[in-house]
A and B are shown apart, each in its own frame.
Chain A
Amino acid sequence: MAQTASKTVDQPTASAERLAVGSRRAGLTDVVGRAVPLIFTLFFAALFLLPLYWMVVTSLKALDEVFADPLVWWPARLVWENYPQALAQFPFVRYFANTATIAIPVAIGTSLSSALVAYAFSRLRWRGRDAVFYLILGTLMIPNWVTLVPLYILFNKMDWLNTYKPLIVPAFFGDPFSIFLLRQFFLRQPQELVDAARVDGASHARVFFQIILPLSKPALAVVALFAFINSWTDFFNPLIYLSDPDKYTLQVGLFNFFGLHVVNWPGFMAAAVVILAPIAILFVLAQRAFIEGITFTGLRG
């Protein structure tokens, strides 16, 4: 994963450079060749950031500035009170705790169970291994909708509705993408380490917990991070499984806050900013892992 990210990629320009050495006209072409993509990229990046800027700036506006024409790019007075006001109407702390109660076990369960399964598909030798591995990848093609209705009926019979169990328990049974990512990572660890430990009489459980897992911290972190973010931002599953407002997650809570209250745009945006903040912080801290994880699962698929 690391080498793709650090590789410099300037083939067309670099080769154009080389071909054009010594010619003044080519020098100009080269400047244009560098500037034009940069200008376009800056433009698109600004366009992508504009909605986020608007979210933050609206959260600090007075009500009459929200739809003002000419646009208010910066409020006359920063209305910080929007934040405590929104959080007073919206049980943020409770929803935050609820969401964490789901997302943390999901992150742990996904990485641990997927690592176990990935070990069986990378470091163990058994007949039919690759066929079963393709079956795991194949399950990625099954639309969630097909399994949803019977699972809902099943969870209903098990009395799991309106609990966190339907949101947490499945994470402990391995996730195909994570199994795939970890398997590729395990395959890169030197087999000699495993063989040496086995010759010394170590069980597979010891090899797994004491050799493979410690060596695989970066990949485990990527898997846990993705599982955490997916669970944290999940809207659909909490929406169908949770009916008691006290059990809502941040996303379902925000959805209901938005629909049932008097239109209060600065307040909505303040709530949205607060909900987005943990994800934004996590993204900034772990940006590289995110991008590498996406690249990795995407390309080698």
Chain B
Amino acid sequence: MATVEVAAQPEGTARLWRRMRRGDGLAALAFASPWIVGFLWFQLYPIVASLYYSFTSYNLLRPPIFVGLNNFRNLFTHDPLFLKALQNTAIFTLISVPLDLAVALLFALLLNRNIPGRSMFRAIFYFPAIIPSVATGILWILILNTQGGLVNVLMQKIGLPALPWLTSPQWAMPALILLSLWNIGPVVVIFLAGLQDVPRVLYEAAQLDGAGPIELVRRVTIPMISPVIIFNLVIGLIAALQTFALPFVLFANKQDASSIGGPLNSALMYSVQLYSVAFQQYRMGYAAAMAWVLSVIIFTLSLFALRVSGRFVHYD
């Protein structure tokens, strides 16, 4: 973050008004007003309201009824779908985030060599991430079709068995995790930019000391880009825990609106379940409670990642 010059203001000015007139206080208030209004309207009010709703039972038709901690208690004791969604989301996050980071770093390392047409390759890796998830989801249903789908036919060609990717409880989650790899483009681009900032003298010094290519990556590259790794890790965690569109398109059954989690709910994600509670069942209080549980998980994990990383991350 660039350091910015803060105007020196005398301490202890009595009135806010006078303080504001000095400096650019009034102009700042005017210029920042869109954000201030937006913050109050679309952030602060909803956060407070959602905390309130999480202690109520509310179906939009009748006024909210205060139910104390019942929503939270029911979530963890009487709601197998919630627990299933929580478990699935944890598995998805714990596997897909490290996998995506590792593959994205590999791609970035490849692109960081002086490969001809590098910006073209970078664009190819990036593009899938901006394809609308509905199109992506429908495309994957086609490609992962058990009978005659592209992936299975290719797998059989090299002697592997055809798998019921999206239709069996064993394979729905692995499929979802593998599919997340197609969207790593932005992570690759951020890694690549980080790699370009590593001073080349470090590599030369390490090579003079006899380091091989793998040691160069382990002892120079990774420590030098560790802030970028942590950035991608935290962003990746937050996104993975809220994954909605792809699992929803892949597994929501139009003929049966209650079936949204894939075979035996094996790929029921937290956000999909939350969507169902809020916008199919209109249990707004219960949904607000679910949203708060998710937020607490996200905050805790992000803080944990930042705290742990503080120990070994290299900052310039």
On whether the two chains bind one another, the answer is yes
- Using a CB–CB distance below 8 Å, which chain A residues touch chain B? 4-5, 7-16, 19, 33-34, 37-38, 40-41, 44-45, 48-52, 54-55, 58, 66-71, 113, 116-117, 119-122, 124-127, 129-130, 132, 136, 139, 141-154, 156, 170, 172-174, 179, 184, 187, 204, 208, 229, 232-233, 235-236, 240, 250-252, 254-256, 258-260, 265, 268-269, 272, 275-276, 279-280, 283, 287-288, 290-291, 294-295, 298-301
Instruction: Known A71-B153, A126-B25, A290-B126; judge A15-B294 contact (CB<8 A).
Output: no
- Using a CB–CB distance below 8 Å, which chain B residues touch chain A? 1-2, 4-7, 9, 19-20, 23-25, 27-35, 37-39, 41-43, 45-47, 49-50, 53, 58, 60, 107, 110-116, 119, 121-128, 130-135, 138-140, 142-143, 145, 147-150, 153-154, 182, 186, 189-190, 192-198, 200, 203-204, 207-208, 213, 216, 228, 231-232, 238, 241-242, 244-245, 249, 252, 254, 271, 274-275, 278-279, 284, 287-288, 290-292, 294-295, 298-299, 302
Contact of A11 among B20, B182, B203 (CB under 8 A): B203
Question: B122 CB to closest chain A CB, in angstroms?
Answer: 6
Verify A174–B38 contact, CB threshold 8 A. Answer: yes
Contact of A45 among B20, B124, B245, B292 (CB under 8 A): B124
Verify B107–A146 contact, CB threshold 8 A. Answer: no
Closest to B133 in A: A235
Question: B245 CB to closest chain A CB, in angstroms?
Answer: 5
Verify A139–B39 contact, CB threshold 8 A. Answer: yes
Verify B35–A136 contact, CB threshold 8 A. Answer: yes
CA distance A9 to B116 in the complex (A): 12
Instruction: Known A67-B145, A143-B298, A233-B130; judge A254-B228 contact (CB<8 A).
Output: no
Closest to B32 in A: A120
Closest to B31 in A: A120
Residues of A within 8 A of B5 (CB): 125
Verify A151–B42 contact, CB threshold 8 A. Answer: yes
Residues of B within 8 A of A280 (CB): 127
User: Could you jot down 22 A-B contacts, CB within 8 Å?
Assistant: A8-B114, A12-B216, A41-B107, A41-B110, A44-B107, A48-B124, A51-B139, A52-B127, A67-B147, A67-B149, A126-B24, A149-B284, A149-B288, A150-B45, A172-B38, A174-B34, A187-B2, A255-B134, A256-B254, A298-B190, A299-B197, A301-B231
Please name the 10 residue pairs, one residue from A and one from B, whose CB atoms are nearest each other, closest first.
A173-B38, A67-B148, A259-B254, A10-B114, A125-B7, A150-B49, A120-B31, A147-B46, A11-B200, A298-B190
Question: A195 CB to closest chain B CB, in angstroms?
Answer: 12
